[in-house]
Structure 1
Amino acid sequence: MRTIGEAAAGLGIEAHVLRHWEEVGALTVRRDGNGYRVYDDGALEQARTVLKLRRVGLSLPEVVAATAPKKQEAQAVVRAKIDALESEVARTRQAITFLRHTVECRHRYLEDCPDCAHFVRDA
């Protein structure tokens, strides 16, 4: 059993983050007889899951949905995030290709290069 401060320190985050996660329904923590949050192994594992999902790019509403009891709904949220990340990777690859070309381009001005114009038109 850990206090909120101990749990937060163990996760490398601030205690207010754990409180916020609990407020929005991303984390469930039981209370002791005095009303203090008590982080048992289950709550710590749940907090680690929330933290990992946040670090891979899910918003808190997405985390709540991705950890929902209905697996089909949770999978839909994760699939949507995968699609968004894959689109972002494709845009990043296109940007790298364009920038590499501009570095290696023999033309002084990008407007004079037919390849650069092609990249710009396809943007």
Structure 2
Amino acid sequence: MRTIGEVSAELGVGAHVLRHWEQVGALTVDRDGNGYRIFDDETIERARTVLKLRRVGLSLPEVRAAMAPKKSTAQAVVRAKIEALEDEIFRRRQAIIFLQHTVECRHRYLDDCPECAGFIHDS
């Protein structure tokens, strides 16, 4: 059993973050007889999972759903996040293509370049 301070130090997050996760239902933490939070190994592993899901971009509501007991619910959330990330990758690749063109463009102003105008109208 570990305290919130020990777990927050181990995970590299503030104790207030662990309290917030508990408050919003992303993490369930048992209490001792004095009302102090106590973290067993299983709770620490769930906290690690919450942290990992947050680091890959899931919001706390998405984390709660992704950790749902019903596998189909969790999979739907993860699939939706994958789709959103793939869309973001596509948009960023398009941005890189546009920016690379502007660096290499022979025109002084973007308004003078037909290719730049094409990029602008495609967005």
* TM-score bracket relative to the smaller structure: over 0.9
User: Share of identical aligned residues, percent?
Assistant: 76
CA distance in 1, matches of 2:84, 2:42: 30
Q: Name the SS of the counterpart of 2:35 in structure 1.
A: coil
TM-score, length-normalised on structure 1? 0.97
Structure 1 stretches of 4+ moved >4 Å: none
Letter paired with 1:108: R
| Paired position in structure 1 for 2:118 | 118
Q: Which runs of 5+ in 1 are unaligned?
A: none
| Paired position in structure 2 for 1:50 | 50
Q: Which runs of 5+ in 2 are unaligned?
A: none
CA distance in 2, matches of 1:100, 1:91: 14
Post-superposition Cα deviations, 1:35-92, rounded to whole Å, max 9, x if no partner, equal 1111110010000000000011000000000000000011101111111111011000
State the Cα RMSD in Å.
Answer: 0.7
| Paired position in structure 2 for 1:30 | 30
Q: How many residue pairs were aligned?
A: 123
What is the correspondence of 1:1-123 to structure 2 with a 5 Å cutoff?
1-123=1-123
TM-score, length-normalised on structure 2? 0.97
